Amino acid sequence: MVIVEDCINILGTIMKHQMEHNIIKRQTNIEALRVLAMLAVIVLHFNFYPGGGGAISNVSGLNRFLLILLECFCISAVNVFLMISGYCNYKKTYIKTERLMSIVVQTCIFQGMMTLIYCMLYRQMDLKMILEAFLPVNYYAILYVSLMLLSPYINYLLRSISNQNNNHVFVIIIFILFSIWPICSDILELTLKHSLEGLNTIGIMGDMKGYNIVNFILAYILGAEIDILELHKRISRLQSVIILFSSVAVIYIWYVISPEYAWSYCNPFVLIEALILVRLFSECKIDNGLINKIATASYTCYLIHIPVLYFFNFEVVKNLNTISLLFVLFLVLSAMVFVSYIITIIWKKVYIVSMKKTFEKLPNIECTDCK
């Protein structure tokens, strides 16, 4: 009997991992959305370069209107990435430690190398700055790795709730607690011109405009619920498109009236925009190997696009007409994607040869009680 039970357990384990292999197989429709989100991140920093400047500060009239409108659409990019993770991974019972280590190592090496190149170009060899650059000082990398470490347990919770048909109530509660309430607290503070410490459900210092682990977990859960709740059956494509454009319009009007918090990642309309994009792309039927390959460069693109844009002279867009401006943006996006893809190919070869086998020896994070 013991031998039979062991054989059954082994067979069950094999079937479970085979099922999970099928679950995480790349879906081109989702990879296409990943590419779109990658482009959106570039647009965000093309419009407003971190630390000041960017295209929007150099344009006016119709060009400014179009870039701000584009910003209102692209602002959901980070949430889209997180929701894709939730949508694709919520059935998994484990997370590969090797994958998380690769993210941390790539972040450290890329940031360090780019800082070193900057110091060499400008002859500012600051040893302290270079050493700090080789640390994973990157909010997205740290929060995303933290989220994925928790994901097997979040997945177990989601499946448990879904079995009780109570997940719709759960979604409503967490959306109110960690999106609607925080943004209302922000608006109230802005209106009263006074800090209301302790009112925000994210933390005593506020929600940091969604740059926090709570928003990452919220977006991940919302992504999973798109499939769990079978959102495509509840909201038609036409309704989804209407909701998407309505969200963009509301965000734009919000920005015009009061720029503060309009582009916050925990803004309900920013989250809804991302949710609808994932819902729409989840139903698309696309089969294109090139898209899958380009999508693998998403994280590389995220790491290098800001340093690369540093060398772009945004003043060149000042006197451009709308067509020329959009063409320049297209060239920037195309060049960034191409460079990111080439660097990704090189990085993968380096990583596989030098580190992958070592990291694969690390134990995976698994929720062993998940059935």
Q: Tell me the pLDDT tens digit for each residue of 131-155.
A: 788 899 999 999 999 999 999 999 9
What percent of the chain clears pLDDT 70, i.e. is strictly above it?
A: 91
pLDDT band at 16 (very low <50, low <70, confident <90, very high): very low
Q: Tell me the pLDDT tens digit for each residue of 105-119.
A: 999 999 999 888 888
Higher pLDDT, 265 or 50: 265
CB 188 within 8 A of CB 196: yes
Rounded to 10 degrees, the C-alpha dihedral 18/23/25/29 comes to 160
CB 344 within 8 A of CB 296: yes
CB 196 within 8 A of CB 189: yes
Which own/partner pairs from 133-138 qualify as long-range (CB within 8 Å, at least 24 positions apart)?
134/108, 134/109, 135/108, 136/104, 136/107, 136/108, 136/111, 137/111, 138/107, 138/111, 138/303
Q: 7-11, 121-125, 188-192 — which is least confidently predicted?
A: 7-11
Distance CA 127, CA 283 (A): 51
Is a pLDDT exceeding 60 seen at residue 3? Answer: no
> What pLDDT, on a 0 to 100 scale, did the predictor assign at position 105?
96
Number of H helices, E strands in the chain: 17, 2
Average pLDDT for 285-312:
93
Higher pLDDT, 4 or 239: 239
pLDDT band at 15 (very low <50, low <70, confident <90, very high): very low
Which pair of tokens denotes residue 27?
A: 């879906």
Distance CA 169, CA 281 (A): 25
Distance CA 14, CA 218 (A): 31
CB 231 within 8 A of CB 206: no
CB neighbours of residue 5 within 10 Å: 9
DSSP, collapsed to helix, strand or coil, labels residue 94 as strand
Q: How many CA atoms lie within 13 A of 347 on its CB side?
A: 23
Helix spans in 122-212 (H): 127-133, 139-163, 167-175, 181-192
18: CB partners within 8 A, 6+ apart: none
Note the residue count of the chain: 371
Average pLDDT for 262-282:
97
Average pLDDT for 234-259:
96
Average pLDDT for 237-263:
96
Write the DSSP assignment of 1-12 as a string of letters.
-HHHHHHHHHHH
pLDDT band at 370 (very low <50, low <70, confident <90, very high): low
User: 169-190 burial by CB neighbour count: b if 16+ within 10 A, else e?
Assistant: ebbeebbeebbbbbbebbeebe
Average pLDDT for 182-203:
93
Q: Dihedrals φ, ψ of 275, to 5°?
A: -60, -45
> What pLDDT, on a 0 to 100 scale, did the predictor assign at position 21?
42
Distance CA 98, CA 107 (A): 14
Q: Dihedrals φ, ψ of 366, to 5°?
A: -135, 140
Distance CA 63, CA 103 (A): 37
Q: Return the domain boundaries, the chain.
A: 29-366
Higher pLDDT, 177 or 125: 177
Which pair of tokens denotes residue 185?
A: 């607290």
Average pLDDT for 315-322:
93
Residue 101 identity (one-letter amino acid): M
Higher pLDDT, 116 or 187: 187
Distance CA 223, CA 41 (A): 19
CB 132 within 8 A of CB 114: no
